[in-house]
Amino acid sequence: MKIMRIFAVILSVVMCMAVCIVPLSATQDDKEITVLFTHDLHSHLLPSANKSGQGEYGGYARLMTAINAQKAIDPDAILVDAGDFSMGSLFQTAYPTSAIELRMMGAMGYDVTTFGNHEYDYLQSGLKSMLKAAKSSGDKLPAIVCANYLPPVKGQDGYDAELWQAFNDYGVKDYMILERGGTYYVIFGIFGEDADACAPNSGMVFEDPAAVAKEIVKTAVSECEATYGEKPVVICLSHSGTDGGKGEDYELAKAVDGIDIIISGHTHTTLEEPIVVNGTLIVSAAEYGRNLGVLKLKMVGDDWVTADYKLIAIDENVAEDPTIAAMVENYKLAVEKDYLSKYGYTFDQVLVNNPYTFDTVDEVYATQHESTLCNIFSDAYKWAVERTTGKTVDMAVTAAGVIRGSLPVGNVTVSDVFNAASLGVGTEGELIGIYLTGKDLKAAIELDASVQPLMRSAQLFMSGVEYSFNQYRMIFNKVDYAMLRRADGTLEAIDDEKLYFVVAGMYMGQMLGSVKETSFGLLSITPRDAEGNPIATEDLVKYVVKDENGNPLKEWDAIADYLYEMDGEMNQRYSKVDGRKVVYASLNPIDLLRNANIFTYVALALVLILIAAIVFIVRAIVVHRKRKKAKNSENTESAQSES
């Protein structure tokens, strides 16, 4: 009996120790999680060459190796992406039919992604087809979350039952709850205001990001706690972006409590350290798979704090994963067969050897300037349309916002050209031929000079004209000189009333309608037909330039053909700029007033009125003081006389 009592005491002590030990070993303070992330991959399955021509960055096979290395360290790591997973390379041509991007992401182990504005470049029909193709493939796929940018519902204009069916069949949701390694995650997608502006033909319904995010956080966190008894880590996959440490995602974090992490896409930002706002960590890892973002958090008390944050460079020093490399090669062959064969090209075909260093995309955006890279593009459009139609093109134009890449030093391939000029609406960059009056042509030139400081993507690059502008002049009157430059080098004045034949990409053409809004109603550009009749934006598709077989002329194909015709060596004319756009800054009165228009005269009048008003006020004050002083003097003399 005594032995039994001793045994019972020992058993009680052991059980008590076990109870004490279990929570100690599982203490929250020891809990760590790993979030791996990318954004703005833009169909860049293959590596891209650096500007110098030395070394490469990106590539899914190398990215896979980095992902596997991190998952070897933490098998419970989650892998997410913040949108724009498509549009940017030849692989995008299979977007509506094969959904290559989502299937590759599934093979690489992505848990969740969201939509970016470029997922709508093939319009609703393309998005619908892509989702159907992805689902019918039977391949593993990432979940898709998007809370504030969805198709119109039944009863709203633009409702498409088939599109909603594609969304539902794929499983697109506002948010999802994911469990990994005992930790629960609420992951939701947010679409930004600028992203919406960059997808004017998406047909989606945009809702306020902050208002929707607040509701999602409240609802999803409550659901997780009620269902699983756990407080989740809240992650927002945002296609909104940051700008110099601020921007839409900064404002989102400031406005919405309870978001632990924002993966910030859209602006192609690289954040070497997280931005911390209102307890939210905002992180970005650059575009095109340049880096794999790694964010490690640990639990301290009831809060998650940063344990480690790094961007792992994906370059030639990272070995390729053989399985993913083989998948990419198979997709290359499919693209050659199904798409490039129609144009007589192969994926890696060399078009020209290039000894010159051209602007990067960032450099194109950075300042107002003439760019040799963009000169090639606009010259190619002019050349290709003239060759195809036999008509003289008065002006061809491209914009910074549609330049997606540069041309490398060394061999320039078909793939390089497509990567640089891949942006399109509905299709990959079709060229349109329209007419502008001379007045509107001048407005386009003024748009380049005046709007770029407000919207960097609006910087224009033209073939067939030469002009100059003074950055210190009055807005909407910065241009002080503009002439047509003909093929033989002769210059011709621009007649306000005459119609001029102009070539541009479809994407840019459809943006013409926003010029009035962008310029606060002070500038407008109206596309017209050969008879001078205005063309509605939705009818621009009727003005796509087609070859003798009725095939649309593509931007990338125009550039490829133009380079191919150089017989193997880049034309020396592109070794430097040719003076077609001169940008300067001068306070010389002659430079400020040369060819002034109503904007400058009104501003000058206002300045003169202001100066006159100041002079009048100062003069009135001086006169008043003199009178007051004289009166005081009289009063003093009178007082002395009386005494």
Extended strands (E) in 88-129: 112-113
Compute the average pLDDT of residues 544-550: 91
- Note the Cα 514 to chain centre separation in Å: 17
What's the token pair of residue 45? 């399955």
Please give the model's pTM, rounded to 2 decimal places. Answer: 0.83
Answer whether 393's CB lies under 8 Å from 502's CB. yes
Position 345 scores a pLDDT of 97
Position 181 scores a pLDDT of 96
- Note the Cα 42 to chain centre separation in Å: 10
**C-alpha span between 159 and 574 (Å, rounded):** 49
**C-alpha span between 364 and 375 (Å, rounded):** 11
4 C-beta neighbours (distance < 10 Å), count? 8
**C-alpha span between 295 and 307 (Å, rounded):** 8
State the residue for tokens 């993966």.
263
41 C-beta neighbours (distance < 10 Å), count? 29
Which of 40, 50, 178, 182 minimizes the C-alpha distance to 118?
A: 40
pLDDT at 116 over 90: yes
Which of 459, 294, 252, 238 minimizes the C-alpha distance to 362?
A: 459
Position 630 scores a pLDDT of 73
Sheet of strand 431-437, all strands in order from the earlier edge strand to the far edge: 431-437, 499-505, 395-399, 460-463
Q: How far is the first Cα of the chain from the last one, in angstroms, to the nearest whole number?
A: 128
Q: The dihedral of CA 464, 469, 471, 473: what is its sign? A: negative
Which of 85, 96, 40 minimizes the C-alpha distance to 291?
A: 40
Work out whether strand 395-399 and strand 499-505 pair parallel, antiparallel, or are unpaired.
Answer: parallel
Band of pLDDT at residue 517, cut at 50, 70 and 90? low
Name the burial class of residue 428, with classes exposed (0-12), middle (13-18) and buried (19+) by CB atoms within 10 angstroms of its CB: buried
Three state DSSP letters for 239-264: ECCCECCECHHHHHHHHCCCCCEEEE
pLDDT at 544 over 80: yes
pLDDT at 428 over 80: no
Percent of the chain residues past pLDDT 90, beyond the cut? 74
Q: What is the DSSP letter of 546?
A: B
pLDDT at 18 over 70: no
Position 556 scores a pLDDT of 95
Answer whether 334's CB lies under 8 Å from 75's CB. no
Dihedrals phi, psi of 462, to nearest 5 degrees: -125, 150
- Identify the weakest region by mean pLDDT among 38-47, 310-319, 589-598: 589-598
Residue 296 makes CB contacts below 8 A (sequence gap 6+) with 32, 33, 34, 35, 74, 306, 307, 308, 309
For 405-445, the DSSP string reads --PPSEEEEHHHHHHHT---SSSS-BEEEEEEEHHHHHHHH
Residue 632 makes CB contacts below 8 A (sequence gap 6+) with none
**C-alpha span between 134 and 140 (Å, rounded):** 9
**pLDDT: is 489 or 523 the higher one?**
489
Which of 147, 281, 274 minimizes the C-alpha distance to 210?
A: 147
Geometric angle at alpha carbon 147, from 143 and 152, rounded to 5°: 110
> How much is the mean pLDDT over the chain?
90
Tally: H helices and E strands in the chain: 19, 27
**pLDDT: is 366 or 615 the higher one?**
366
Answer whether 77's CB lies under 8 Å from 292's CB. no
What's the token pair of residue 541? 């598709």
Compute the average pLDDT of residues 360-377: 95
pLDDT at 398 over 70: yes
User: Helix axis angle, 322-338 relative to 60-73, nearest 10°?
Assistant: 150
**C-alpha span between 484 and 489 (Å, rounded):** 9
